[in-house]
Amino acid sequence: MSRGVAALTVASVLLAVCLALGAGEVWINPLHPLSDMERTILWELRLPRLLIAFAVGGLLAMAGSWFQVLLGNPLAEPYVLGVAGSSAVGAILTLMLISTSIVLMSAGAFAGAVAGIALMMAFVHLGSGRLLLAGVVLAAFWSALITLLLALMPNRDIGLAFAWMMGDLSTSAIPIPLLLLFWFAALIAGLVLSPKLDALLLGEKHAMLLGVNVSALRGTILLLASLVTAVAVTAAGTIGFVGLVIPHLMRLVFGSLHRYVLPASAVGGGLLLMLADSAARTVIAPAELPVGVLTAMIGVPLFLWLLLRRN
């Protein structure tokens, strides 16, 4: 990684952190002496949010890069195989049948995600084309199920269901230290698998002839990527676009090899989500926009610009 790029990365991280800490209805300058209230806001509200955003954004971006190589398709992203759909079903069922508590809904989301993953594992041996097809169809099924549940549920709960699906970074059902640890563990696991994933970029036959056990690798990556997505969705709801756009952006800057793309995505995804969250908190303050809206607003133009530029 060239020194210029490294410097740019560090600068971006610092900028995003400052924005995340500083922005909001109250613009706080972290460098000046703080009043008690400002200190409370900074440490107990903005810092946890920043950390959750960073971890979740990084997890989604890592998962996105893995799904893209697993399915051999750059349009893949963490929700393409239906993990988000099944976890939303889990959260909504919990909402309808058990409790409106966010913690329990998150547990339901995780259970839903696990069920979705288990289903997908049955198809992984079919090869990437069929796996993608199965996943897309399954995702559509979860979508239909969600619509059904929304139609059946009492009107007052519909708002809650949507609020969960649109994503919320202010709290996480998973304790923050655990979330950060998971981010780190996912990054390490991914780096270990990077050489084999790189081989998979050449196609299955080439990968096999480079000594890779392709079927084992595909199963492992599907499991890892799905688990990472499940954790992200459990912590913060279904936030889109991070997992699709960030890996591509990182490939443009750092090349296609996973040993660079992966850590770059882990950090870049975190940055994007931190920025999106800062904007979500500030744009119509004191009210908040759903953060998924901001990732789309930032992510989609960025993605389209990338597409045009690549031509």
Partner 1 sequence: MRLVLLFLMMWLLAPQAQAGERILALSPHACEILADIGAADEIVGVVDYCDFPESLSKLPNLGGYNRIQVEAAMKLKPTLAIVMNDGAPAVNKLRALGVRVEASNPVTIDAMLAEVERFGALSGHQHEAAQQVHLLRARLARLKPGHSQKSVKVFYEIWDDPLIAAGGSSLIHDVLTHLGLNNVFGAIAMEGPKVNIEAVVRAKPDLIIVAAGNEKVREQFWKKWLGERVRVIGVNADLLHRPTPRLIDGMEALAARLSAGGGLHE
Partner 2 sequence: MSALLLQTKGFGVERGGRVLFHELALDVVRGSITVVIGPNGAGKSSLLLALAGVIAHSGDCLLQGRNHRAVDRNEMSRQIAWQGELPPTEFGLTVAERLDLAAGAFGASNRAHAVEAMELEALLHRTLGELSSGERQRVEIAAVMVRDCPLWFFDEPTAHLDLKHQQRVLKLLRDAAAEGRTIVTVLHDLQQASAVADQVVLLDGHGGAEAGEAAGLLTSERLSNLFQVKLQSIHNDGHSLLLPDYRS
Report CA torsion sign: 280, 77, 299, 28.
positive
Stretch that binds partner 2, among 9-17, 135-143, 203-211, 274-282 (CB under 8 A): 203-211
Residue 212 binds which one of partner 1, partner 2, none, with CB within 5 to 8 A depending on kind? Answer: partner 2
Binding segment for partner 1 (CB under 8 A), chosen from 37-45, 69-77, 141-149, 179-187, is 37-45
CB of 198 to partner 2, least distance (A): 5
Does 68 participate in binding partner 2 (rule CB under 8 A)? yes
Binding partner of 41, given partner 1, partner 2, none, CB within 5-8 angstroms per partner class: partner 1
CA 113 to chain centre: 14
* Residue 78: other Cβ atoms inside 10 A: 30
276 binds partner 2 (CB under 8 A): no
> Could you say which DSSP state residue 155 is in?
H
Using the CB atoms, write b or e for 251-264: b if 16+ within 10 Å: beebeeebebbbbb
Is there a cis peptide before residue 286, judged by omega within 30 degrees of 0?
Answer: yes
**Judging by beta carbons within 10 Å of its beta carbon (0-12, 13-18, 19+), is residue 212 exposed, middle or buried?**
buried
> What does 211 interact with, of partner 1, partner 2, none (CB < 5 to 8 A by kind)?
partner 2
Residue 215 lies near partner 2 (rule: CB under 8 A): no
User: How many whole angstroms from its chain centre is CA 53?
Assistant: 9
DSSP assignment, residue 126?
G
Tokens of 115: 């069920």
Contacts of 104 (CB under 8 A, 6+ apart): 94, 98
Which residue in the block uniquely carries the two structure tokens 């981010």?
183
Between CA 207 and CA 99 the distance in angstroms is 48
Number of residues that bind partner 2 (CB under 8 A): 25
Q: Residue 241 — left, alpha, or beta (φ > 0 → left; ψ -120 to 50 → alpha)? A: left
Backbone angles phi, psi at 25, to 5 degrees: -65, -35
Q: Any contact of residue 301 with partner 2 (CB under 8 A)? A: no
Q: Does 213 bind partner 2 (CB under 8 A)?
A: yes
Q: Mask of contacts with partner 1, 112-151, x by CB under 8 A?
A: ---------------------------------------x
Our finding on whether 199 is near partner 2 (CB under 8 A) is yes
Q: Does 307 bind partner 2 (CB under 8 A)?
A: no
Among 159, 177, 205, 311, binds partner 1 (CB under 8 A): 159
Judged by CB under 8 A, how many residues of this single chain contact partner 1? 26
Q: Name the residues that contact partner 1, by CB under 8 A.
A: 24-26, 37, 40-41, 45-46, 101-102, 151, 154-155, 159-160, 163, 168, 170-171, 281, 284-288, 290
Q: Name the residues that contact partner 2, by CB under 8 A.
A: 68-69, 72-74, 195, 198-199, 201-203, 205-206, 208-213, 251-252, 255-257, 310
